[in-house]
Amino acid sequence: MAVALTSNVDWDLQTGASTTMSYASGKTIASGATLAIFAYWGDSSVTATVADNLGNTYTLVDDVAQASGIGTRRGRSFYAKNVTGGGSYTPVVTFSGSTNNRVLLLAEMTGADTVTPLVGNAGQAQTLPGTGTNAITSTADTPTANNCLVLGCTSGDIRQSIVVGTGFTDVGMGFGVGAAGNIEWLRGGYLIQTTATSQAATFTQATGDDPNATLTLMMQFQPASSAAFSLVVDTASYAVTGSDVTLLQQVIQTWLRVGR
């Protein structure tokens, strides 16, 4: 089964200072799906966690911050695996302190492995990344499986003409006027890798736009295994002794590596 984004891809912006960001998306999430959240906010000293109204557990993947230069923002990526589905999906980001200009991107995926969906990730902050093709980048990672979905997101606080990088499919751009008149924005994109190779989430800024600081995050998700594998050991007719122990250990290790 291939990993695929569903139509449940959305974003939200909340500007006034607060310690939480609750977004009533109105979406119905499928049981067993994988959820990805990219969250950004306007204070690099503040941290964040994610939960939702369906009781799912989110794992922090990367944490990037722009603490000086142009902007003082922070971003984190999260995912939840094999989720409990339901309607009126509402992710809730809780911050360690009050912060403004909170923006998030959410995405639902089907077909991802329900035990170990995440097999690669990266993220970085850039000051003045420039207008070169794919100059805005998460930095690269190589997933540990083929046929992965590579999902990326970038954000900043000056509105830019940002497009997704080479090979990526756009999942949309959100923007709005934040505190102090800053225009908060984010853009997401994804691609499917047939063969695992080094890959970054990349974006390109149009020539002539204002200088900007960007925070870019990437997660790589592997498909669920389609192979069925079982191991049966007849303990009644086979006694494990001597050198047979090593052989049995090798068989079990192969089963754990290949067949789970």
pLDDT tens, position by position, 101-117: 899 999 999 999 999 99
pLDDT tens, position by position, 153-178: 999 866 567 899 999 999 977 765 55
Position 243 confidence tier, pLDDT thresholds 50, 70, 90: low
> How far lies 83's CA from each of 54, 79, 89, 229, in Å?
9, 10, 12, 24
- Position 245 scores a pLDDT of 47
Res. 42: pLDDT tops 50: yes
> How far lies 69's CA from each of 169, 219, 240, in Å?
31, 26, 65
pTM, 2 dp = 0.84
